[in-house]
């Protein structure tokens, strides 16, 4: 559905206008809306073609790329405005805009709480794959994997930042959204900028092409409210600044999930368009970080004593009764944190295609259990701890082979 001239034109304008909206498979699009002082939305979502209606409008409008100005679009598709409308609706927010019949498109005046400011020249603009589109947000049709970026105060010539984990060596395709760092060890990131603010035709997909290292960017933790709005906390002592190569190293002293973004602040004004966020998993000493926090909600972080994530020692295995298919598992609680709600032991059969983790034992008290496993197979074992706040931490704790009948 890229903007290339189709092999044929629609026979007449009346036929073009009458083209119905055909439901197709959802298009997966990365949507980011950078507001006045916060990121209003940032997530990859599935989108289908449908009509949209601004808050001040009286009727629903077509916003699927089918219009008189773009006759090469002969099949309804997903567009940048449509994706952002769906994104904001998913968190209970609306949009507003002025409909222009001549373009069959909305001129966006507000996303969520952030309305344009004509006096200050603060208008909304749109980029697809880091390029300002040459047509409006209801006219440009998107492909799977495209990145849509709506920006408040978009036309001041500010560079647009992008941040990657250095180890990813990113060149093209969807940007890395997660990474793993070691507790208390420097985690290297790199920040680049896209400085082109000319309207053009976006590339075939997200890419690092056309960017350059950005020195002086502030890489900092993100404060995320219940609705999902993200505020870059450059006042945090964790904040680091990129060097002449656009690289920096940030240290995480607490296990769990950490969200970071990059920006550049002069006085109280951000002189760049904020970067994408990066969710970094910092495992506790014994395992993983548990379930990744949702893109539109803060990780649990109540202001209570003992809200740290629970920590346990590396579990020990007792193989004395392995011939009977019985494995003893024991561990020590190093720090209960907010309190341990429950634990579970799971197993995964090795060498079996499509094998999944199977629960073998669970409990709310104690620090040991006996796991029963079928004979004649090898297994990987995993311990998962769930704390009082619902946070999970898991650790793969060892491999065991249960002999079959007649084996020692």
16 SS3 class: helix
Q: Average pLDDT in the 133-150 region?
A: 93
The residues, ordered by sequence, that sit 6+ positions from 136 with a Cβ below 8 Å of its Cβ are 81, 103, 105, 106, 107
Q: Given this model, what pLDDT does residue 405 score?
A: 59
Q: Given this model, what pLDDT does residue 292 score?
A: 64
Dist CA 330 CA 310 (whole Å): 16
Q: Given this model, what pLDDT does residue 127 score?
A: 95
Higher pLDDT, 72 or 239: 239
Q: Retrieve residue 299's tokens.
A: 């990780």
Higher pLDDT, 190 or 309: 190
Q: Given this model, what pLDDT does residue 291 score?
A: 63
Helix (H) or strand (E) holding 177: none
| Claim to verify: residue 262 and residue 338 sit in the same structural domain | no
Please, are residues 38 and 233 in contact by the beta-carbon 8 Å criterion? no
Q: Retrieve residue 68's tokens.
A: 């008189």
| Claim to verify: residue 144 and residue 164 sit in the same structural domain | no
Q: Retrieve residue 392's tokens.
A: 């999970």
| Claim to verify: residue 245 and residue 327 sit in the same structural domain | no
The residues, ordered by sequence, that sit 6+ positions from 387 with a Cβ below 8 Å of its Cβ are 309, 310, 337, 338, 339, 340, 341, 393
Confirm whether 288 is domain-assigned. Answer: no
**Among 134, 152, 170, residue at a domain's last position:** 152
Q: Average pLDDT in the 264-279 region?
A: 92
Q: Retrieve residue 59's tokens.
A: 């009727």
Confirm whether 184 is domain-assigned. Answer: yes
**b/e code 373-399 from CB counts within 10 Å (16+ = b):** beeebebbbbbbbbbbbebbbbbebbe
**Among 152, 171, 199, residue at a domain's last position:** 152
Confirm whether 291 is domain-assigned. Answer: no
**pLDDT tens track for 213-255:** 999 999 999 998 888 899 999 999 999 999 999 999 999 988 8
Confirm whether 391 is domain-assigned. Answer: yes
Q: Given this model, what pLDDT does residue 21 score?
A: 40
| Claim to verify: residue 17 and residue 139 sit in the same structural domain | yes
Order of strands across the sheet with 368-372? 316-318, 326-330, 368-372
Dist CA 264 CA 241 (whole Å): 9
**Among 101, 127, 152, residue at a domain's last position:** 152
| Claim to verify: residue 122 and residue 173 sit in the same structural domain | no
261 SS3 class: strand
- Using alpha carbons only, how large is the chain's radius of gyration in Å? 26
Q: Average pLDDT in the 348-352 region?
A: 84
Q: Given this model, what pLDDT does residue 338 score?
A: 72
Q: Is the pLDDT of residue 122 over 90?
A: yes
Q: Retrieve residue 63's tokens.
A: 């916003």
**b/e code 320-351 from CB counts within 10 Å (16+ = b):** eebeebebbbebeeeeebbebeebbbbbbbee
Q: Is the pLDDT of residue 40 over 50?
A: yes
Task: Please report, in angstroms and rounded to a whole number, the separation of the first and last CA atoms in the chain.
Answer: 62
**pLDDT tens track for 5-36:** 333 332 333 333 333 444 456 889 999 999 99
User: In the chain, how many domains are there?
Assistant: 3
| Claim to verify: residue 214 and residue 333 sit in the same structural domain | no
Q: What confidence tier does 66 reach under pLDDT thresholds 50, 70, 90?
A: confident
Confirm whether 191 is domain-assigned. Answer: yes
* Of 35-44, 174-183, 285-294, minimum mean pLDDT range: 285-294
Q: Given this model, what pLDDT does residue 11 score?
A: 30
Percent of all residues in the chain with a pLDDT value above 90, rounded to a whole number = 50
Q: Given this model, what pLDDT does residue 309 score?
A: 67
Higher pLDDT, 407 or 194: 194
**pLDDT tens track for 320-339:** 998 888 999 998 888 787 77
| Claim to verify: residue 179 and residue 277 sit in the same structural domain | yes
Q: What is the span of the domain harbouring residue 396?
A: 311-402
Q: What is the CATH number of the domain that holds 107?
A: 2.170.130.30
| Claim to verify: residue 278 and residue 180 sit in the same structural domain | yes
Write down the mean pLDDT value for the chain. Answer: 84
Higher pLDDT, 338 or 78: 78
Q: Retrieve residue 343's tokens.
A: 């634990």
Q: What is the CATH number of the domain that holds 334?
A: 2.60.40.10
> Phi-psi category of 337—alpha, beta or left, where left has phi over 0 and alpha has psi -120 to 50?
left
Residue 278: exposure state from Cβ atoms within 10 A (0-12, 13-18, ≥19): buried
Q: What is the CATH number of the domain that holds 251?
A: 2.60.40
* Of 151-160, 223-232, 350-359, minimum mean pLDDT range: 350-359
| DSSP classification of residue 87 | H
Confirm whether 289 is domain-assigned. Answer: no
Confirm whether 1 is domain-assigned. Answer: no
Please, are residues 183 and 283 in contact by the beta-carbon 8 Å criterion? yes
Confirm whether 304 is domain-assigned. Answer: no
Q: Given this model, what pLDDT does residue 24 score?
A: 55
232 SS3 class: strand
* Of 72-76, 111-115, 223-227, 334-338, minimum mean pLDDT range: 334-338
**Residue 132 Cα to chain centre, angstroms:** 22
Q: Given this model, what pLDDT does residue 381 score?
A: 87
């Amino acid at each position: 559905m890229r903007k290339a001239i189709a092999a044929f034109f629609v026979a007449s304008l009346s036929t073009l206008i009458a083209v119905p909206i055909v439901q197709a498979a959802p298009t997966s699009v990365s949507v980011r809306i950078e507001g006045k002082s916060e990121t209003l939305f940032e997530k990859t979502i599935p989108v289908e073609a449908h009509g949209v209606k601004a808050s001040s409008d009286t009727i629903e409008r077509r916003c699927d790329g089918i219009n008189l100005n773009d006759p090469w679009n002969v099949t309804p598709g997903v567009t940048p405005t449509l994706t952002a409308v769906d994104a904001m609706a998913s968190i209970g927010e609306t949009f507003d805009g002025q409909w222009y019949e001549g373009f069959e498109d909305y001129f966006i005046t507000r996303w969520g709480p952030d309305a344009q400011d004509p006096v200050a020249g603060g208008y909304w603009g749109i980029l697809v794959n880091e390029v300002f589109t040459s047509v409006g947000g209801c006219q440009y049709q998107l492909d799977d994997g495209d990145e849509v970026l709506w920006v408040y105060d978009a036309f001041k010539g500010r560079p647009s930042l992008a941040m990657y984990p250095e180890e990813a060596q990113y060149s093209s395709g969807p940007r890395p959204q997660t990474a793993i760092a070691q507790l208390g060890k420097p985690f290297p990131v790199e920040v680049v900028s896209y400085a082109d603010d000319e309207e053009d035709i976006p590339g075939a997909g997200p890419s690092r092409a056309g960017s350059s290292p950005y020195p002086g960017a502030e890489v900092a933790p993100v404060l995320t409210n219940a609705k999902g709005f993200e505020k870059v906390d450059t006042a945090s002592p964790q904040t680091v600044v990129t060097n002449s190569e656009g690289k920096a190293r940030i240290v995480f002293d607490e296990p769990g999930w950490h969200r970071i973004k990059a920006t550049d602040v002069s006085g109280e004004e951000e002189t760049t368009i904020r970067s994408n966020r990066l969710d970094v998993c910092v495992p506790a000493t014994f395992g993983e970080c548990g379930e990744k926090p949702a893109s539109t909600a803060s990780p649990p972080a109540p202001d209570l004593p003992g809200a740290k994530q629970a920590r346990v020692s590396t579990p020990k295995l007792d193989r004395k009764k392995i011939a009977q298919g019985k494995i003893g598992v024991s561990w020590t609680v190093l720090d209960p944190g907010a309190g341990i709600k429950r634990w579970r032991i799971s197993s995964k059969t090795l060498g079996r295609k499509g094998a999944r983790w199977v629960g073998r034992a669970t409990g709310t008290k104690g620090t040991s259990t006996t796991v029963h496993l079928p004979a004649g197979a090898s297994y990987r074992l995993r311990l998962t701890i769930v704390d009082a706040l619902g946070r999970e931490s898991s650790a793969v704790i060892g491999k065991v082979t249960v002999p079959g009948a007649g084996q020692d």
